[in-house]
Structure 1
Amino acid sequence: MIVAVKQNKVLDQFSDLLPWAENLKDTAQDLWLKPISDGKWSLREILTHIMYWDRNSLEMMVPNMSEGAALFFADIEKHNQEAAGLAQSYHSLDTLIDDLVITRRQLFVLLKEKYNNTEKFTIDNRNYTYKKFVQLFIHHDEHHRRQIEGFLEQEKV
């Protein structure tokens, strides 16, 4: 029972991105195409980047996570460039956020179904559990949330 509580806590934290992203529909409409600083991505690119990594996890990683599996992350630079390219196809912040939310919910459901923190596997020759994998993306989400929140706060002035 203790494992289930910890599991839900980690997965709940992973799903915290959903209401935050939905809230961006109200706060970022006129700023979503503006780079967050010189040489950096816009909100459109950052949100697509998050969604694209979720899609990779949904399609390539989580379905193959099992005891003893040897997995590999996508080439980070190439994957991020593909995400930035995909971002250009979004002409509406609401549509982008809807797609991000749908993808995150699908990934959340799959993780909830498969989550077994006793299973160990490797990714890029490093040891992982489901918890460690999810925490990696929670940290990734938090990094980008801080970037976006800082940008939106700066733009209020």
Structure 2
Amino acid sequence: MASIQNTTLHEFADFLTWLEQLKETANEYWLKPIADGKWSLREILTHIMFWDKNSLEVMVPHMKEGAQLFFADIEKHNTEAAELAQSYTILDVLIQDTIRMRRQLLELLNEQFDGTTKFTIDNSNYTYKKFVHVFIHHDEHHRKQIEAFLEQQSA
């Protein structure tokens, strides 16, 4: 992957290091729901990967000046991700697939990212930076959930 000069994209790429660390700590617990009625780590990681795939294939290629884009139907998209999660039987494979998808997305963003392009998503104004920050916060939300769960399991 090309060097990432942009600080927003660098922050988005930081998630990759954390994913690598999960291989060491989560194997014993990755199929267990993080709380009653919640997803397991397998489903959460697949969910993140599935949103990266949507960004890579549907969103980012169309982020041009004045474009009018729409996020996927969240409930349907999340259900499809949870269904896909069931196909993963080895944590390392899921983590590697998630890393690969994020790297592909980062490469595309690194090629296209600029500070001036403006477009709309669901009738709200966006820039590349705002779009990426949505997913940085999304990553952080799930990272905190997973870390709290793993801490609880080790206590």
Normalised TM-score (structure 2)? 0.96
* Counterpart residue type for residue 124 of structure 1: D
CA distance in 2, matches of 1:89, 1:121: 36
State the shift of 1:40 in Å.
0.2
1:150 matched to which residue of 2? 148
Alignment pair present for 1:123 and 2:121? yes
CA distance in 1, matches of 2:115, 2:144: 28
Q: Structure 1: any 5+ residue segments left out of the alignment?
A: 1-6
Q: Structure 2: any 5+ residue segments left out of the alignment?
A: none
2:112 matched to which residue of 1? 114
SS of the counterpart of 1:40?
Answer: coil
Query: Of 79, 84, 99, which residue of structure 2 is paired with 1:81?
Result: 79
* Counterpart residue type for residue 108 of structure 2: L
State the shift of 1:8 in Å.
1.2
2:69 matched to which residue of 1? 71
Instruction: State the Cα RMSD in Å.
Output: 0.7
SS of the counterpart of 1:68?
Answer: coil
Query: Of 131, 138, 154, which residue of structure 2 is paired with 1:140?
Result: 138
State the shift of 1:52 in Å.
0.1
State the shift of 1:116 in Å.
1.1
CA distance in 2, matches of 1:16, 1:91: 26
CA distance in 2, matches of 1:88, 1:117: 39
1:98 matched to which residue of 2? 96
Alignment pair present for 1:18 and 2:16? yes
**Equivalent residues, number:** 151
State the shift of 1:135 in Å.
0.3
Identity of aligned pairs, percent?
70
CA distance in 1, matches of 2:115, 2:76: 30
State the shift of 1:155 in Å.
0.4
Query: Of 29, 43, 46, which residue of structure 2 is paired with 1:45?
Result: 43
CA distance in 1, matches of 2:20, 2:39: 20
* Counterpart residue type for residue 117 of structure 2: E
1:35 matched to which residue of 2? 33
State the shift of 1:26 in Å.
0.6
